[in-house]
């Protein structure tokens, strides 16, 4: 039997597949895309039906040459790239670059021996509908980026960019910030009684104190904002002086909590953000390794579908490890609610149900954390509900009613595997007409809270809910808007817009409202789905977008006046004696000589704000300032850079090591250490 060449995207995936296939197969990696649009030009002929100009990047030329040598040694070539639109597109570009006449195309949702062998038995042709959908997305994004960005350079500032999905994400963050700016906090008060059941020979008693919140006066419910100030709260406290607290009614019932469905790309990114504080980009990178090493199924999916084999293996594992009463009793299947979800795909799950996190060997700590989360969620989704005993007691005091709630777990069910935050609130055994002991009465001041800023989890959830982008676009979109300095994260890891983010958003909203309109962007996604399903032509989608867009763009070039972002200062240029002005650049405001470009003197405004008041220990002339790396990480360096390259990741303090005279740094809240890695001094 002659050999076959199998081409995948990554070396890790190639190594994993090689374990399952014998010497009759050569497995090689394309290292991602082998063709793309050129970097420094539009690369799309809008006059010739949006014909893309594809080129082979320099780094891919060597890969193509080596793959051609491998092709000469085999009888046939098999393209085994990922099963989504991106993977289909990579397969097509390989076909074109390698001049393959009729290559076999195989797809699999998991990298297991059975999945690979099944795929090899059922090859298909490249799905040009999926390729065209990806091609349309690439062309549309290129048109928006390469046509709209120069407009921003001319009318706002050099180096700016606009993107079809990224601009919508920035708009969401800007709108949220303006909601917060307009927000006015409203004061309100709550009243809470601390009570306990008295001990008695007949009924028993409890030393356990429990809270009860005021809910009614007479027959009228007291709404959240109804007690407006301390005067009103104190009046209620006065009315309750020497009141008797008597149980008016008891409601006991059993409540159940259902397990969450298995993960999709979006929900996995959200869960990793909430639990571990990971950015979406990191989550996807770790998931990529888990997938390529055969531990989980494909990680770019918006489907909740689960294969019959996986459902059966989950049932067997649950009944064997935990008992029949922990299995749901039947296979639980979930319905995908997101528009355009590809049901042929599966949800993200472990490749093997019985491969517990404890049994995994040779993976790093972060991979283990993410695998544990995925494994727990999948096993839990096939388990029984958690059951709780719920108690609600209404307690009368004079003309007021208080309510106390209790909740205790009766059966853990799926929570045995996938623990979530839960707090037992155990009330004493209360009966109607019980008289309770009064412990204390408090009035509690509250203020209404402004809307919360987006974090990665809530931003992804909003984008998905509104049909903006696809599973594969969330992580790169969020990275891009941070890299462009349109938004940043605060200490709570929540997004806020930069000054430039506000400016660019306002220019786009005022002049290109459709581009940043959520409904319009979601409609574009639906049209791309139509192309993927063979219902529409990709060229028509591009034409329908480009015609109106090009017309508006031409009008705006004429009508829009350049935004003046300069501000006068009283500073004088040390080089030529001219006035210094504040300018706005891509990375924020800076000082510059008013005679630019004749005089190119600039100074950093941020350096002034972030000056730690510590002289540089290396050059003895500059000051140490807080700065941001290209990846957005804070570091501390000399403001004389590049003349002086002193830099530290840890925050320096204005003290020097008694052992080696190096500057000391703050390692954490309680420890100061020497910055010299060879010195062990700490205090």
For residue 131, the 8-state DSSP code is H
> What are the backbone dihedrals phi and psi of residue 68, each rounded to the nearest 5 degrees, phi first?
-65, -35
| All residues at 6 or more sequence positions from 434 whose CB lies less than 8 Å from its CB, including other chains | 197, 203, 246, 247
> What are the backbone dihedrals phi and psi of residue 160, each rounded to the nearest 5 degrees, phi first?
-85, 165
First vs last Cα of the chain: how many Å apart? Answer: 70
653 in helix, strand or coil? Answer: strand
Report the b/e string of 633-666 with b at 16+ CB within 10 A. eeebbbbebeebebeeebbbeeeebeeeebbbbe
The residue among 618, 670, 678 whose CA lies nearest residue 648 is 618
Tokens 């903006």 found at = 468
Query: Is 591 an active-site residue?
Result: no
Report the b/e string of 18-44 with b at 16+ CB within 10 A. bebbeeebbbbbbebbbbbbeeeebbb
Q: Which of 298, 400, 418, 546 is flagged as catalytic? A: 298
For residue 354, the 8-state DSSP code is T
The residue among 115, 1, 114, 97 whose CA lies nearest residue 55 is 97
Q: How is the beta sheet containing 611-615 ordered, strand by strand?
A: 611-615, 623-628, 634-638, 647-648
Alpha-carbon distance of 302 to 111, in angstroms, equals 19
Q: Which residues pair with 589 in a beta bridge?
A: 584
Q: Which helix (H) or strand (E) holds 409?
A: strand 400-411
At residue 352's C-alpha, the angle toward residues 355 and 3, to 5°, is 120
For residue 597, say if its preceding peptide bond is cis, omega within 30 degrees of 0: yes
CA count, 13 A, side-chain hemisphere, 461: 12
Q: How far is CA 549 from CA 139, 414, 472, in A?
A: 14, 52, 26
Alpha-carbon distance of 275 to 268, in angstroms, equals 10
Which active-site residues does the annotation give?
298
């Amino acid at each position: 039997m002659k050999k076959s060449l199998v081409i995948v995207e990554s070396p890790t995936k190639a190594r994993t597949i090689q374990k399952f296939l014998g010497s009759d197969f050569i497995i090689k990696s394309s290292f991602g895309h082998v063709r793309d649009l050129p970097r420094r030009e539009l690369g799309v002929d809008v006059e010739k039906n949006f014909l893309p100009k594809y080129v082979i990047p320099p780094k891919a030329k060597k890969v193509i040459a080596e793959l051609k040598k491998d092709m000469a040694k085999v009888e046939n070539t098999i393209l085994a790239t990922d099963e989504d639109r991106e993977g289909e597109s990579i397969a097509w570009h390989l076909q074109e670059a390698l001049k393959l006449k009729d290559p076999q195309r195989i797809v699999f949702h998991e990298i297991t021996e059975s999945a690979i062998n099944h795929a090899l038995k059922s090859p298909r042709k490249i799905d040009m509908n999926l390729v065209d959908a990806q091609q349309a997305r690439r062309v549309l994004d290129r048109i928006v980026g390469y046509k709209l960005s120069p407009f921003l350079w001319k009318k706002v500032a050099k180096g700016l960019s606009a993107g079809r999905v990224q601009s919508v994400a920035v708009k969401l963050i800007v709108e949220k910030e303006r909601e917060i700016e307009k927000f006015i906090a409203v004061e309100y008060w709550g009243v809470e009684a601390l009570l306990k059941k008295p001990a008695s020979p007949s009924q028993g008693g409890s030393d356990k104190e429990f809270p009860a919140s005021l809910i009614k006066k007479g027959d009228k419910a007291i709404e959240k904002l109804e007690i407006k100030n301390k005067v009103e709260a104190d009046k209620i406290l006065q009315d309750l002086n020497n009141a008797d607290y008597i149980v008016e009614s008891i409601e006991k019932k059993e409540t159940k909590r259902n397990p969450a469905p298995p993960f999709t790309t979006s929900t996995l990114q959200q869960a990793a953000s909430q639990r571990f504080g990971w950015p979406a980009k990191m989550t996807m990178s770790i998931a990529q390794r888990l997938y390529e090493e055969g531990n989980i199924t494909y990680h770019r999916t918006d489907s909740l579908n689960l294969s019959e084999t996986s459902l059966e293996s989950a049932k067997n594992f649950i009944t064997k490890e935990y008992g029949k009463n922990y299995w749901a009793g039947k296979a639980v299947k979930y319905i995908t609610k997101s528009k355009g979800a590809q049901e042929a795909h599966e949800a993200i799950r472990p490749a093997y149900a019985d491969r517990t996190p404890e049994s995994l060997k040779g993976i790093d700590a972060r991979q283990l954390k993410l695998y544990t989360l995925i494994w727990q969620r999948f096993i839990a989704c096939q388990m029984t509900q958690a059951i709780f005993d719920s108690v609600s007691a209404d307690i009368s005091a004079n003309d007021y009613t208080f309510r106390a709630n209790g909740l205790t777990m009766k059966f853990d069910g799926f929570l045995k595997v996938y623990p979530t935050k839960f707090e037992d609130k155990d009330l004493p055994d209360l009966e109607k007409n019980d008289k309770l002991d009064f412990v204390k009465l408090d009035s509690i001041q509250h203020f209404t809270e402004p809307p919360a800023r987006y974090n990665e989890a809530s931003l992804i959830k909003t984008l998905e809910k509104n049909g903006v982008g696809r599973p594969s676009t969330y992580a790169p979109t969020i990275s891009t808007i941070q890299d462009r300095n349109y938004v940043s994260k605060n200490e709570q890891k929540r997004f806020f817009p930069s000054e430039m983010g506000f400016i660019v958003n306002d220019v786009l909203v005022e002049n290109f409202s459709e581009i940043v309109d959520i409904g319009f962007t979601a409609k574009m996604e639906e049209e791309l789905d139509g192309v993927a399903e063979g219902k529409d032509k990709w060229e028509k989608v591009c034409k329908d977008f480009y015609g109106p867009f090009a017309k508006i763009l031409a009008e705006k070039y004429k009508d829009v006046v350049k935004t003046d972002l300069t501000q006068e200062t009283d500073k004088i240029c040390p080089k030529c004696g001219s006035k210094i002005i504040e300018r706005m650049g891509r990375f924020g405001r800076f000082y510059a000589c008013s005679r630019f470009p004749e005089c190119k003197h600039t100074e950093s405004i941020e350096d002034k704000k972030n000056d730690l008041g510590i002289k540089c220990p290396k050059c003895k002339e500059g000051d140490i300032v807080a700065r941001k790396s290209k990846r957005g990480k804070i570091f501390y360096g000399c403001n004389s850079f590049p003349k002086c390259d002193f830099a530290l990741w840890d925050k320096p303090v204005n003290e020097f090591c008694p052992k080696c005279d190096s500057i000391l740094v703050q390692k954490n809240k309680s420890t100061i250490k020497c910055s010299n890695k060879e010195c062990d001094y700490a205090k």
